[in-house]
Amino acid sequence: MPAGRPEKYTEEFVKEEVNKILSFVLEDKNMVYIGEVFENIPYPRENWSRWAKDYSDVEEISHTIKRVNEILENRINIGGLKGKLNPTMTIFNLKNNYGWKDKSEIENSGETSMTIKWQEEQSQSNILPDNG
């Protein structure tokens, strides 16, 4: 935790909470957004991101957070593919919350060569007589 900020949530508390959240997500197959869990929890949704960062070195917490995120990402993807979710919101959510990107592929199927010609032009005005 950053200096000066009191540690409100202990590691043990966070372990319990992320496991409860995993249970909520597994119980409700229609849940596709982590914010839905926090509707009935007495602390803000931003804690999810903070816990992911602050406890990234605690295997049990980081693994559970990753698992929840992967479940929700999978549900969004499948819901979009099956037409159960709005396609625009599906794309928006996957790009903004899960790092998905539009991919452009450029295929180079052969050799490319370039020839550069250098031609020096001399005009009569550029040539000075040798007065020597």
Task: Please write the tens of the pLDDT for every residue from 110-129.
Answer: 777 777 777 666 555 555 55
Q: Where are the alpha helices (DSSP H) in 1-132?
A: 11-27, 46-54, 59-81, 87-98
Of 75, 77, 71, nearest in space to 95 by CA: 77
For the chain, give the number of residues. 132
Q: Which two tokens stand for residue 40?
A: 């009935």
Task: Kindly compute the dihedral angle of the four CA atoms of residues 62, 29, 40, 37, in this order, to the nearest 10 degrees.
Answer: 30
Interior angle at CA 44, CA 41 and CA 46, nearest 5? 130
Q: Which two tokens stand for residue 59?
A: 């295997």
Q: How far is 13 from 42, CA to CA, in rounded Å?
A: 13
Dump pLDDT digits (tens) for 41-89. Answer: 888 999 999 999 999 999 999 999 999 999 999 999 999 999 999 999 9
pLDDT of residue 1: 46
pLDDT of residue 75: 97
